[in-house]
């Protein structure tokens, strides 16, 4: 491996040239590939764009500091980054709970721990839905998340109503299996 393989020359916005290491380039590439998805997950978990941006920044800072521990044979970079972000979100949630000193009355917004648990369950559901066949996913999404009836879904996708019911049945069965694999005990 030559020095050119390990280093890249880049031009900064100010017009100055600097040498970038392969680690820095990899971090930048990881941010470009997964930053948006990490931001979306953090925003759904923390209910705040500012907190979500902080979580993503802290995720990449921790990833940078522990980059030597990443082992691609154990899992993908995406999985590793999400596991780091999950811990960051938990830390931020705990910090928010400590700040929150007023007791929650019935009907008010839930505490950060409940919001975090809700977000984690949502992430598991989103991941399980992504693993379904597209035909099954679209039926489940329309029926259960968009509140359409079987007849409306059948008309929307020009399918027989029996096909919609059949796809919903098999999709729910597969979702149950996928969620159990993910450790969901609801």
In this prediction, residue 97 carries a pLDDT of: 55
Q: How far apart are CA 81 and CA 55, in angstroms?
A: 11
Q: What is the pLDDT of residues 35-78, one digit of tens each?
A: 899 998 888 888 788 888 999 999 999 998 888 888 888 888 88
- Number of domains composing the chain: 2
CB-based contacts of 42-46 (< 8 A; 24+ apart in sequence): 42/85, 42/88, 42/89, 44/119, 44/122, 44/123, 45/89, 45/93, 45/115, 45/116, 45/119, 45/120, 45/123, 46/89, 46/92, 46/93, 46/115, 46/119
In this prediction, residue 96 carries a pLDDT of: 61
Angstrom CA distances, 109 to 26, 72, 101, 161, stand at: 40, 40, 14, 40
In this prediction, residue 107 carries a pLDDT of: 54
Q: Are residues 136 and 175 in the same domain?
A: yes
Q: Are residues 24 and 99 in the same domain?
A: yes
In a domain, 115, yes or no: no
Q: Output the domain CATH number for residue 181.
A: 1.10.10.10
Q: Output the domain CATH number for residue 43.
A: 1.10.1740.10
In a domain, 27, yes or no: yes
In this prediction, residue 42 carries a pLDDT of: 87
Q: Is the whole model's pTM more than 0.85, yes or no?
A: no
In a domain, 168, yes or no: yes
In this prediction, residue 11 carries a pLDDT of: 43
Which of the residues in the chain have pLDDT under 50?
1-20, 100-102
Instruction: Give me the domain span that covers residue 46.
Output: 18-106
In a domain, 63, yes or no: yes
In a domain, 51, yes or no: yes
């Amino acid at each position: 491996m030559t020095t050119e393989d390990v280093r890249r020359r880049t031009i900064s916005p100010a017009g100055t040239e600097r040498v970038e290491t392969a680690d820095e380039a990899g971090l930048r590439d990881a941010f470009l590939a997964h930053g948006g998805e990490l931001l979306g997950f953090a925003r759904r978990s923390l209910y705040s764009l500012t907190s979500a941006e902080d979580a993503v920044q802290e995720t990449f800072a921790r990833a940078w500091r522990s980059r030597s521990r990443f082992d691609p044979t154990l899992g993908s970079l995406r999985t590793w980054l999400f596991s780091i972000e999950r811990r960051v979100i938990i830390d931020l949630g705990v910090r928010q709970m400590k700040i929150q000193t007023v007791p929650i009355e019935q009907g008010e917004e839930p505490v950060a721990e409940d919001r975090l648990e809700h977000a984690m369950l949502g992430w598991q559901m989103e991941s399980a839905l992504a693993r379904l066949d597209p035909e099954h996913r679209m039926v489940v999404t329309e029926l259960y998340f968009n509140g359409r009836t079987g007849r409306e879904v059948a008309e929307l996708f020009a399918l027989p109503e029996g096909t919609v019911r059949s796809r919903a049945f098999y999709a729910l069965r597969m979702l149950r299996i996928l969620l159990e694999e993910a450790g969901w005990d609801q």
